[in-house]
Each structure stands twice: as structure tokens, then as C-alpha cells.
Amino acid sequence: MHPFRSSSQMDELDKTMTRYLLGELSEQEQAALEKRYFADREVFNQLLQVESELVDAHARGQLSTEMRERFERSYLTHPSRRERVEFAKALTARIDEREQPARAAQSASPVSWWQGMLATLGGHRPALRLSMALAAVLIVLLAGWIFVVIRRQQQEQREAEIQAQQKNQEQREREQTAQQQPTNTPSQSAQQSSSPTTNPTRPVPFLALTVGGVRGGDNLGTQTLIIPHDTTQAQLALKLKDDSYPRYRVSLQKIVGAEVFNRANIRPRNTKTGANFLFTLPASQLSSGEYALTLSGITSTGEVDVIGKSLFRVEKH
């Protein structure tokens, strides 16, 4: 195997794979690469080749100081990887010891530790040479298989967590919808209208928004959510113009102040009027002032795109 290539000698995929092996990719970049090599056998084989070159170069001391520090800081934290590196070091040391006279006479680049292994362990005994070569190949394949299984399990765990979050969000929205359904008879409603003091329960303040602005017909002013002083909850509805993302992220922040809430990996409800979100939050979290509700779409690869903001005011009486 050739010495580890410099950055100028690598293509972009090799560079990405090297950063992946060194644990330097973001979660989104890591998930995208895993999805790619799970689906493409050639990409997976290329990943194994980059890993073998990296381990071989470290065993031979051919990594730069900066690359060696990155390698030892991340790659060697895994016990199975440390065993593989120790095996490569012992093997290359043995090969270098046996092949030193031959390398001194040759001007070509050093042979890989795989080729050296065949020459060193085989000698004049072809059967032993073949057995040791097969054993070494099986060790590498097993290490690669374990690595892929672990990554696949981690990916499945992340997907399960996302699905659980989506189910919890849908359950909360169903409960919120059930709470909004009228249960009083017409006569009861009339009694409440004529005698509001007979029922201490007040309606929940509600404001409907759309992505990119507020829903208010010809009203060009900022929509206002009025919250009476004795109210405990308030609701915000956010209508989507186009449901084109598999998942969404919503955050509410006061224009001059801190973030009120942030919810990720959620899905809208699909109704006859289109897709929409419904959020119920404690009235105590809202104070008088201006707010921005930001909606972002999350792609299948984990990238986050800001779709738009809805602005409104809160007035507490």
C-alpha cells in the first residue's frame, strides 16, 4: 500500500471519509455518508480502502504530526480499532525487519504490509502462507463488518427516537384538539352568554398565523394575541402553504428577549383546509411585546432550511 496521501492527492469523497473515520463530521454529514455507503457497495469498499491506508500509514509512521494527533485523538478511542492498529504495527515491524536488505536495494516505494505479510509469513511454505493471508483478510473483514453494524444500529436508534418524538407530538395535538371541541348544549351556551359569572372557565386565547405573515385579510397591521390576566393557557395555530418537507422545526422568540420554546422533528396535521400546526403553551411564558414564530423544514438528509417567520404581538390585560 502506498504512503498515506496528502490532501492535494485525495478527492472530495476520500477527504470526507477520512474526516468520518476521525470523527470530525457533523451529525448531518455523518448520516449522509452512512446512507450513501449503506446503499452503494463501491462506496463502502472505498471507505474500507481509505481506512486501511490510514491505519497502515500510522503503523509505519508516515502520517504528518497534525494528522497523527487527529488519528490518535479520535480513532484510537475505540478498543477494537486500537487492537487493529497494534496488529498492524507488529506486522509492519516484522516485515520491515525481514525486508530491510531488499528495500535498501530498491528505489521503488515500500510494499504494503499486506504484500510484506505474504512474503514474510509464507517463505517456502505455500500452505502456511495461504492460511495466514486468509486469516488476515478475515480479521480485516470482521473489523469492517463490526464497524458497519455499529453505525447501522446508531442510525436505526436515531430514526426510532425521531419517530417516537413525532408520535408524542401527534398525541399532544390530538389531546389539544379534543380540548377545543364544544361540549355544551345550545341552552347551556345561552345561559353562559347571559350569565358569564356562572361558569368560571374562560376560553383559551387563540391566534392563527401563516408562514411568512399573519392571517388577517386586508388588515396590514400586526396581528395581536390578547391574554386576560386570569388566563393560564394560550394557543397558536400555524398554517402551511406547502407541506414539502418530511419533518419541521418551530421556534418562538420574543423580538427583544429570549426564546420561548423550540420544537423539532414534528409533523403538521392534515385537515380539509390544509396542513397546520397547533401549539398550546402556558400564558405565564408570554409577556406583552412583539414575537416571531420561525418555521424551518428538515430534509431527509438532516439539513435545515428556514421557510419563513410569522410576526405578532402579545398584550396581557
Domains of the chain, residue spans: 7-159, 203-316
Closest residue by Cα to residue 316 from 294, 292, 291, 284? 284
The answer on pLDDT for 57 being more than 90 is no
* Cα 217 to Cα 35: distance, rounded to the nearest angstrom: 45
- Reference 208, options 273, 145, 133, 258; nearest CA is 273
pLDDT, tens only, 103-123 = 555 544 555 555 555 555 555
Tens of pLDDT, residue by residue over 280-310, are 999 999 999 999 898 998 988 888 888 888 8
Find where cell 516505494 sits. Answer: 109
pLDDT of residue 235: 92
Element (H, E) at 224: strand 223-227
The answer, yes or no, to whether residue 51 has pLDDT greater than 90, is no
Q: Which grid coordinates belong to 67?
A: 494528522
- State yes or no: pLDDT of 33 exceeds 70: yes
> Which residue is associated with the grid cell 380539509?
272
pLDDT tens digits along 209-229: 887 543 333 444 678 999 998
Residues 6+ apart with CB under 8 A from 4: 53, 54, 56, 57, 58, 62, 63, 67
Q: In the predicted model, is pLDDT for residue 14 greater than 50?
A: yes
The pLDDT, as a whole number, for residue 4 is: 57
Provide mean pLDDT across the span 38-57: 86
How far is 313 from 224, CA to CA, in rounded Å? 5
pLDDT tens digits, residue range 183-218?
554 544 444 444 444 445 668 898 888 875 433 334
- 95 alpha carbon, distance to own chain's centre: 43
The CA distances from residue 52 to 4, 39, 115, 173, 257, in Å, are 10, 21, 13, 50, 52
pLDDT, mean over the chain: 76
DSSP lists the bridge partners of residue 214 as: 209
Write out pLDDT tens, residues 231-272: 899 999 988 888 889 999 999 999 888 889 899 899 998 887
Q: Sort strands 259-266 and 206-210 into parallel, antiparallel or unpaired.
A: unpaired
Give the residue with greater pLDDT, 149 vs 285.
Answer: 285
Q: Between 126-180 and 79-105, two packed helices, what is the crossing angle to 10 degrees?
A: 150
Q: What is the pLDDT of residue 76?
A: 79
Q: How far apart are CA 203 and CA 133, in angstroms?
A: 77
pLDDT at 198: 41
pLDDT for 182:
53
Residue 9 has pLDDT above 90, yes or no: no
CATH of domain 203-316: 2.60.40.2550
- Report yes or no: 310 and 214 within 8 Å, Cβ to Cβ: yes
1 pLDDT above the threshold of 50: no
pLDDT tens per residue across span 150-186? 767 766 776 777 677 777 777 777 777 676 655 554 5
Query: Residue 285 and residue 260: Cα distance in Å, rounded?
Result: 7
With b for 16 or more beta-carbon neighbours within 10 A and e for fewer, the 151-164 pattern comes to: beeeeeeeeeeeee
Residue with the bigger pLDDT between 207 and 144: it is 207
Please identify which residue in the block is written with the cell numbers 426510532.
160
User: Which pTM was predicted?
Assistant: 0.37
Query: Residue 105 is inside which H or E element, if any?
Result: helix 79-105
Question: In Å, how far are 35, 45, 194, 234 from 197, measured between CA atoms?
Answer: 61, 75, 9, 21
Is pLDDT above 80 for 82? no
